[in-house]
Chains A and B, each alone.
Chain A
Amino acid sequence: MSATAAHVDDHAHDDHGHHHKETFITKYIFSQDHKMISKQYLITGLVMGFIGIAMSLLFRMQIAWPGESFPIFEAVLGKWAPDGVMDADIYLALVTIHGTIMVFFVLTAGLSGTFSNLLIPLQIGARDMASGFLNMVSYWLFFLSSLVMVISLFVEAGPASAGWTIYPPLSALPQAQAGSGMGMTLWLVSMAIFIASSLLGSLNYIVTVLNLRTKGMSMVRLPLTIWAFFITAIIGVVSFPVLFSAALLLIMDRSFGTSFFLSDIFIQGEVLHYQGGSPVLFEHLFWFLGHPEVYIVLLPALGITSEVIATNSRKPIFGYRAMVFSILAIAFLSTIVWGHHMFISGMNPFLGSVFTFTTLLIAIPSAVKAFNYITTLWKGNLQFNPAMLFSIGLVSTFITGGLTGIILGDSTLDINVHDTYFVVAHFHLVMGISALYGLFAGVYHWFPKMFQGRMMNKNLGYIHFWITAVCAYGVFFPMHFIGMAGLPRRYYENTAFPMFDELNDVNVVMTVFAIIAGVAQLIFVFNFINSIFYGKRGSKNPWKSNTLEWTAEMEHIHGNWDGPIPHVHRWAYDYSKVNEDGEYVIPGQDYVPQHIPLQDGEEEVNH
């Protein structure tokens, strides 16, 4: 049975028993099965994450100990670190590629790609994605783009180094910066492929959610994870093509002499021919994706958190309907706030006012979400599995990082903190760390679903969480202070300004925390790999969860359910639901999975 022929109707199970012969290649490499594709996404994402985090440790060391010679620099960077002292060009390249990899390759593909693929069919009760073939193409395009990005690290003049936002003219002119030659070309090629991959994936997710829900799974019975993935996919489809056009125009400016973004440039003793273009146009196009991108990264993490918190609190998520409306509101607002990245770009100040207004509005649904999470914990019976810890950690960093958004979103206040470390601290907490926590929560929670019932070691999970949690604050909380001291980001060293001398101590503290946090991730890597092969097997539904994926077979089979697809009779959050006599709906069991019909005398929750 090919995955594309998966049906949701009752007769689908008739096809069982005559699976096509699977070779190693169709099963593990060019697989069209959503579960395998999700694992491919996860592992590729984790490998890219390793590269991205390692880069951040390298440049953090340079920031804390500027100009110091480290053998590791010479070992890793080679000619870019003569005598172990990091070169200024490669510093910018590391910063650039760290941002690119973490935002796109880890937190977009690694997070949304992994869990959308794994959970959409399983939680809505479908045998596979709407198009298994496109799904496979989507992954392999992602793989190709990762490959091109990694190859770009090895080109002669160095990788792209104009910042992850690649503002022209810096990114357009090889005369302006060594990394804007072949390195930037490869960056653009890689991103173009990435966008194609993301679009194929997103379209597939949307179609699957709309068309392949099992009987009884109305939109208002969808788990919040699926709502988050669904809306994320829609934002992706709306905004990624705009980045593609920006990349395309930039490629034309670079290679074919057009002037979309360039005008009146004199560089290295020469007046260039460009006339009439505007870098501000590029900024608009870039941030039209760039800002929704933040929510493309964050919404899946919040969706995962909703599910994990409800399951582990043994309580329904508080305010399901408000949560769905918040997701919708955030998604809508996220496409009309991009200008808050451009308050001081030279854009008309009136536009700045409008964007301040829309930006601060987005705080409202965000606040509602945070309060709803907190209320979900209230009077719960909290099961502190590692996924739960990461979810609570997410809410914590989401609040801490989100609050400073009130400052950055206010055009008046943005004037003086724009492009300083205050911004770096803000977005790392609110989208970087939070989304990473969401990723970890998802991996710990659904590991048994991915690896045939094997579970990750909980104690290593606890150690991983607590070290990471302490270090994340240790790195990013003090960072607000150096930002408020006016320290610009992307400075190779801060020694050129005596006014920043006293900030060096703070930078050392942050770097030490960053290194510890980086090393702590190795615990996760070990736990992950070890558990794939030696993890203890738990029961079919180890977290006693309500959603449909836990009714599917533990062994991975094409089509997910050996028998008929279960029908859905209730929403996903009937945890600790009691009858009027105070007894659980199903005696002795504090949860009622979605496929269980309403019991005698039970009323459906009118959420």
Chain B
Amino acid sequence: MTAFLTIIVLVLVGIAIWQMTKIFELSQAKSENPEVANDGDNKLNGYLMFAFLIFIYLLTIYSFWKWGHVVLGTPASEHGKDVDQLMFISMVLIFTVQIITQFLLHYFAFKYKGEKGKKALFFADNDKLEFIWTIIPVIVLAGLILYGLFTWSDIMDINDEDDPLVIELYAQQFNWKARYAGEDNVLGAANVRFLQDFDGQNVTGIDASDPNGLDDVVSTTEIHIPVGRKVNLQMRSQDVLHSMYMPHFRVQMNCVPGMITQFSFTPTITTKEMRLDPRIADKVLRTNKLRAEKSKELVAKGEEALDPWEFDYVLLCNKICGKSHYNMQMKIIVETEEEYNKWMAEQKTFSQTIASE
């Protein structure tokens, strides 16, 4: 409703401005080209150009002040630090260039606003200038490209060194499953053709004739990962494209039906530690305040109140996958080795699952 009112107010303001311009127009002397900018228009719009520059700066400052804290905080993985470092360097560069070029653009627009009889400078070319602003981007970008490429090849170098934990993330409309490689740390072969075996208990389509698969463990509720150990993720999808996105770890990879994609990372902060991270703690406080307010409204309408939020790492789907794309998620728990082992011991292996059938 407030939106509607705002719109009406704006329309009315618009009409008022229009009427004012009409009066302004009528008061002007007739010229040959009445719809071509005259000195008055040039002056007004020149000043507005300067005002617009201020607007861009203020919007930038305001956005940082008001929303700067919503961006993802401390990266929770080893390579995440490198990603964030590169991101920071790029951002500094971007904002420097943005502030300078926007200034030049709008300031020149303001400074050289047209006046009758003023002579513009006939300045068609200057090789030196052209050279300067070709070579500067070349050098800066070469630096960024090199930095980016080294980091990229480190991240994408997926190997079996350092005894990685092998986990398969299995995507389907609209949920995730995690399959652990078990004792042998080798995932059994799998295919969608096996999904209907064992009365549908074989939820990730493990090939029961492959011995590597018998000790595999499938979790449909949470992913548990021990802190500090490299994890090699393998992604599969059984229906459409999905994207495995874990924003806190700076991890993302598409899940493609018919092929296995991979990503490797090492979590460095447990869920419990992350909850104590000052930025996360602040975020939880702010969010719970919002949720409490929202709950009041809901209760007044006779609906259920929202639960307060406790921070958890989360796995989202980040590739449009259908109607419930917006709610395809899974909780990730990063914990100590002991806690992980304890949890793992409680899980049923594939052979146990099919034996109980």
Contacts and interface: CB of A to CB of B under 8 A. Distances in A.
B250 A416 contact: yes
B86 A318 contact: no
Interface residues of chain B: helix, strand, loop or mixed (majority)? helix
A110 interface: no
A345 B318 CA distance: 12
Contacts of B259: 263, 278, 280, 346
B256 A382 contact: no
B319 A419 contact: yes
B250 A456 contact: no
A381 interface: yes
Contact of B120 (A380, A407, A463): A380
Interface stretch (B110-118, B210-218, B341-349): B110-118
A497 B71 contact: no
Contacts of A277: 258
Interface in B94-141: 94, 97-98, 101-102, 104-106, 108-109, 112-115, 118-126, 129-130, 133-134, 137-138, 141
A363 to B, nearest CB: 6
Given A377-B105, A381-B115, A412-B155, A319 B320 contact: no
A482 B66 CA distance: 12
Given A177-B322, A497-B314, A477 B18 contact: no
Given A264-B258, A266-B192, A396-B105, A176 B239 contact: yes
A430 interface: no
Interface in B229-270: 235, 238-241, 243, 245, 247-248, 250-254, 256-259, 261
A176 B322 contact: yes
Contact of A481 (B63, B113, B122): B63
Contacts of B290: 501-502, 504
B276 interface: no
Interface stretch (B161-169, B175-183, B219-227, B325-333): B325-333
A415 B252 contact: yes
Interface residues of B, number: 131
A493 B327 CA distance: 9
A503 interface: yes
Interface in A348-389: 349, 352-353, 356-357, 360-361, 363-364, 367-368, 370-375, 377-385, 388-389
Nearest to B35: A455
A478 B63 contact: yes
B186 interface: no
A321 B113 CA distance: 26
Given A61-B3, A170-B321, A265-B238, A403 B94 contact: yes
Given A378-B112, A459-B21, A315 B121 contact: yes
A282 to B, nearest CB: 10
A512 B52 CA distance: 19
B287 interface: yes
Contacts of B44: 384, 462
Contacts of B243: 344, 418-419
Contacts of A145: none
A332 B208 CA distance: 52
A457 B72 CA distance: 47
Contact of A412 (B86, B94, B112, B327): B86
A498 interface: yes
A163 interface: yes
B87 interface: yes
B149 interface: yes
B188 interface: no
Interface in A542-570: 542-543
B152 A383 contact: no
B7 interface: yes
B83 interface: yes
A364 B90 contact: no
Given A403-B97, A406-B90, A356 B241 contact: no
Nearest to A473: B59
Contacts of A460: 18, 21
Contact of B122 (A162, A177, A578): A578
Contact of A264 (B25, B144, B257, B320): B257
Nearest to A361: B141
Contacts of B90: 406-407, 410, 413
A356 B50 CA distance: 36
Contact of B109 (A271, A357, A377): A377
A407 B322 CA distance: 28
A88 interface: yes
B323 A575 contact: no
Given A357-B149, A375-B129, A400-B102, A279 B156 contact: no
A265 B112 contact: no
B60 interface: yes
B115 to A, nearest CB: 7
B329 A497 contact: yes
A406 B240 contact: no
Contact of A506 (B67, B245, B251, B322): B67
Contact of B141 (A321, A363, A463): A363
Interface in A311-353: 313-322, 344-346, 349, 352-353
A144 interface: no
Contacts of A280: 256, 259
A430 B255 CA distance: 29
B309 A413 contact: no
Interface of A: 61, 65, 88-89, 92, 162-163, 167-170, 173, 176-178, 262-267, 269, 271, 276-280, 313-322, 344-346, 349, 352-353, 356-357, 360-361, 363-364, 367-368, 370-375, 377-385, 388-389, 392, 395-396, 399-400, 403-404, 406-407, 410-413, 415-416, 418-420, 455-460, 462-463, 466-467, 469-470, 473-474, 477-478, 481-482, 484-486, 488, 490-494, 496-499, 501-504, 506, 511-512, 515-516, 519-520, 523, 535-536, 538-539, 542-543, 573, 575-578, 590, 605, 607
Which 4 pairs of residues, A with B, have the shortest CB-CB distance?
A: A263-B258, A486-B247, A349-B156, A384-B45
Given A382-B46, A410-B152, 20 more contacts: A92-B323, A265-B238, A265-B239, A313-B112, A314-B114, A344-B243, A356-B145, A374-B108, A383-B37, A384-B41, A399-B98, A412-B82, A416-B251, A477-B63, A481-B67, A490-B326, A498-B291, A503-B70, A536-B34, A538-B32
11 contacts: A92-B323, A264-B238, A265-B258, A316-B122, A367-B137, A374-B101, A374-B104, A378-B108, A459-B22, A473-B56, A512-B3
